Amino acid sequence: MPLKTILQVILVTDAVFMVTLILLQNRGVALSSTFGGDSSVHYQRRGGEKVLHYLTIMTAVIFVVVAFISLFVQ
């Protein structure tokens, strides 16, 4: 299998994994200020939420690196 095909498979798999991680994160935190809530409360991620956050960052970095590498592979 050519290297370009392997990189494309990695990109698609990483993109699906990243979207899944983003959807698993807590969605209601930033919306409170939109509807008149107080946004002065400091929020710190803990436990599983922190792990999801770091995994999302890792998958995003992997996605960018693999996409950049695939630009130069023929």
Q: Is residue 39 part of a domain?
A: no
Confidence at residue 44, expressed as pLDDT on a 0 to 100 scale: 75
Q: Is residue 36 part of a domain?
A: no
Of the pLDDT bands very low, low, confident and very high (cuts 50, 70, 90), residue 62 is: very high
Confidence at residue 7, expressed as pLDDT on a 0 to 100 scale: 95
| 60: containing domain | 3-26+44-72
Span 1-56, pLDDT tens digits: 899 999 999 999 999 999 999 998 876 555 554 555 555 566 677 888 889 999 99
Number of helices (H), then strands (E), in the chain = 2, 0
Q: Is residue 32 part of a domain?
A: no
Distance CA 6, CA 22 (A): 24
Confidence at residue 58, expressed as pLDDT on a 0 to 100 scale: 96
- The whole model's pTM is what? 0.74
Q: Is residue 67 part of a domain?
A: yes
- What's the structural domain count of the chain? 1
